[in-house]
Structure 1
Amino acid sequence: MSKMILWSFVIIGMALLLFRFRKKTLIKDSILVFLLKAYFSTFIGIFVAKEKLIEYPVRFLSKYFDTSIVFESFLYPIMCVYFFQTTYHSKFPSIVLQCALYTGALTIIEVLCEKYTDLIKYHNWTWMYSFITIFFLSLFVRLLMQWINKMDKQNG
């Protein structure tokens, strides 16, 4: 059952990715957001898995990865592309609010997966750690992109 759910997440992720990238707006920025988020979340995920804070009993490429590459390198970066694009013209308070909403949705899905599947098991971890980590990493990449675009305009 957990493998089926994992495959469902991959299919949903691909559909969301195709839907988002078929629009011609902010393509360069969206790709950069996706890659930055995948890089940072994979780095953090490796640390969390190696420290045995979280375990992923059912995962893709389990022979090679201790982490959930579907979440860290695919689903979470896709969510951040949506977050970036929906906040592109927003002021800081709106960015923080939307970040909390996106993070809350991901955290709820994670908690349900932890409770009802073998996709994730918390050891020395709680949903609150996930929320805080996802929130601040999402906000960091969003603000980093704002800074990158500001520097690009100044130099262009």
Structure 2
Amino acid sequence: MVKEYMILAAMWLFGTIGFILFIPQKDRRKGLLAAIMFQALIWLCDMPSFTYGLLSAPVRIFPKATDLTLTINYFFYPILFAIYYVHSKSMNSLWLKITSFFVWISIITIYDYILERYTDLIKYGSLTWLGMWIYIGFLFSISLVCCNWFYKEKTPIQSYVGGTNED
């Protein structure tokens, strides 16, 4: 159990340092909104996932308060999405944006699978690694659409198909 708490502490440390180092000062507000948007969406999706046994978290920070994994799902993954969101704005090519999207969700899924396999921080119930990959991809794409909507920016599809962003 000590190993799990050290991993949680490392996630808090690397998440904080990553937010400061990898998000430029001028984009911190966008990064913070992206993290909050991701937190809101993952909360809506995780409540049924944990309630109906798709996921479980045997070791967590507040075991009596909630069954959800606060550090992983409400701090670390939102920070990773914020870093992705801020840096995806600088990509010009649609191919580069799509590749970057799939690389990010694949790396996060691999990390999640390693946590599931070798620790007690998260356990898949009836969910597989492929289901988790689809789940994380869904969360990333919906969060990206919501953040783009908030800032009134075109989505990658709109900018290459010729759509407009007028209300």
TM, length-normalised to structure 2: 0.83
Runs of 4+ residues over 3 Å off in structure 1: none
Residue 59 of structure 1 and its aligned partner are, at CA, apart by 0.7
CA–CA distance in 2 between the matches of 1:122 and 1:44? 15
Equivalent position to 2:116, from 111, 114, 117: 114
Structure-2 residue corresponding to 1:35: 36
Residue 17 of structure 1 and its aligned partner are, at CA, apart by 2.0
CA–CA distance in 1 between the matches of 2:95 and 2:70? 31
* Of 91-100 and 44-53, the range deviating more from structure 2: 91-100
User: For structure 2, which runs of at least 5 residues remain unmatched after alignment?
Assistant: 154-164
Superposition map of 1:42-57 within 5 A:
42-57=43-58
CA–CA distance in 2 between the matches of 1:140 and 1:39? 11
CA–CA distance in 1 between the matches of 2:29 and 2:96? 23
Structure-1 residue corresponding to 2:13: 11
Structure-1 residue corresponding to 2:133: 131
Amino acid in structure 2 at the alignment position of 1:112? I
User: CA RMSD of the aligned region, Å?
Assistant: 1.9
CA–CA distance in 2 between the matches of 1:15 and 1:27? 13
Q: Alpha-carbon deviations, 1:54-97, whole Å to 9, x = none?
A: 11000111111111111111011101111111110334433222
Residue 148 of structure 1 and its aligned partner are, at CA, apart by 2.5
Q: Alpha-carbon deviations, 1:17-76, whole Å to 9, x = none?
A: 23245x322222211111100111122112111111111000111111111111111011
Amino acid in structure 2 at the alignment position of 1:38? Q
Residue 154 of structure 1 and its aligned partner are, at CA, apart by 6.8
Structure-1 residue corresponding to 2:160: none
Q: Percent identity?
A: 22
| Pair 1:102–1:6, CA change in 2 (3 A) | same
Q: Tell me, what secondary structure is at the counterpart of 1:26? A: helix
Structure-2 residue corresponding to 1:24: 25
CA–CA distance in 2 between the matches of 1:13 and 1:68? 15
TM, length-normalised to structure 1: 0.88
Would the aligned equivalents of 1:114 and 1:121 in 2 still touch at CA under 8 Å?
Answer: yes
| Pair 1:149–1:4, CA change in 2 (3 A) | same
CA–CA distance in 2 between the matches of 1:28 and 1:16? 15
Structure-2 residue corresponding to 1:58: 59
